[in-house]
Amino acid sequence: MAAPGRRPCRRRPIWPSTSSGYLEMADSQILRGIRRVATLAGYRYKVWFRRHRRQLFLRLRDGDLAVQMADYRQSVEDRDWQAALPKALALGSRAKEKGEVRLLDELGQGLMRMGAYGPAAELKIARRHVVQGRSDGEWLGQDISGKVLLVDLMETEKQGLATAIHHASSVGRALASAARVIVLVEHRLVPLFQRTFPVADVRPVGPGKKQAYAEAQAFAGVQHLTALFEADERAIRAHFTPLKPDPQRVAEFRARYRKDGRPLVGVAWGSSNPGKDLPPLTAWRGLIGQPDLNFVSLQYGPIENDLKVLTDGMPERILYDRTVDQLVDMDLFAAQVAAMDAVVTISNTGAHLAGALGIPSVFILGDGFKRSWPVEGDRTPYYPSAVLVSKKERPWPAVMEEAEQNLARKLIAGPA
């Protein structure tokens, strides 16, 4: 009882440390969400502004072509692929005649996504000719059986790792066409490509690039390989060659990770690209909460805060191996990915790597059109072991539920 003339003393509630942690985590999620929305809005405005500016300039150059491009883009926006494909094919011919570099880029990418791989490659080669002119030694299918061929899988910084991984199988076919083949890749991919194609002379892109071109009598970029060996789905599937990781490292990872016999599932959820449509971290909890699976992070960058949100405050649910840094050692990362029984990931370099290694995989894809994945169906001929789960304007919980179902089927089926 309080003393006369004094106010009763109110006890300050003492929050348990776990509650405090949850509050901090909730605040962190809210701030992350706000930043994400703001960044995405800014990115979309920038894309919108660029597109309309380019459309205006195109209208000034060729009003009829601008109208046709606007019609094609509307079909893409409506996801009406049956209408978009013939429009893209017709516009591609016009863009080649006019030498419209940006349109050749856009239409080539669109045709790739709609499964018209051969026509897409033709537009990319046409773009090259507009920008760089025709070059002596460019391999367009002529006999090079007695020559040295240079395969340049990183002609520009934009191509990056994923492009080389995506088209790796065609290196094997190129080897059968020339007396000797030099392959240029980003330096982190050299061990992986050399192990997979031991007959090839695999070199890092860098100061020695000029010398490599000087040694060769013919050269091919990604667009040439696509035109020659990847013109249709059947050809791509028939000649799939999985990349070969370091078997000793793979065995070491499996021994360290799989101590209780539960399947290993690699997961990656984030991207530094603000334009990607990604599931919120909380949408992963149903998948990661499955007690009969061991989860391993394949995510790059600092992830400690993400782990708390993904696991609802139990970060130990996901094994985070700090000895692996894909930004530094891609060969070690490839071995880690190859040690998995299955992989569930958003679209990133790790997705391409898992697919190229032949690991049973589930790729979670947003609705953006600027991606390398097919617009229809749940398969890609480039990665036979992967299944694609596209958002298709659905809420993320429904997408993640489909991903969980596909993962279960992959684990039951075993290796592809």
Q: Domain residues of the chain, as ranges?
A: 34-132, 148-238, 247-413
Question: What is the rounded average pLDDT for all residues in the chain?
Answer: 88
Q: Tens digits of per-residue pLDDT, 60-102?
A: 566 788 899 999 999 999 999 999 999 999 999 999 999 999 9
CATH class of the domain at 247-413: alpha beta
pTM: 0.84
pLDDT of 16 above 60: no
The pLDDT assigned to 14 comes to: 35
Give the mean model confidence (pLDDT) for residues 47-57: 54
Q: Determine the angle formed by the axes of helices 81-98 and 101-113, rounding to 10 degrees.
A: 150
The pLDDT assigned to 7 comes to: 44
Q: Is the CA virtual torsion 405, 410, 413, 414 positive or negative? A: negative
The pLDDT assigned to 311 comes to: 92
Residue 372 tokens, joined: 């390398």
Any idea which architecture 148-238 has in CATH? 3-Layer(aba) Sandwich (3.40)
Band (pLDDT 50/70/90 cuts) for residue 2 is very low
Fold agreement between 148-238 and 247-413: yes
pLDDT exceeding 90 applies to what percent of the chain?
Answer: 73
Among 353, 316, 95, which Cα is nearest to 307's? 316
Q: Tens digits of per-residue pLDDT, 196-251?
A: 999 999 999 988 899 999 999 999 999 999 999 999 999 999 999 999 999 999 99
Other beta carbons within 10 Å of 12: 6
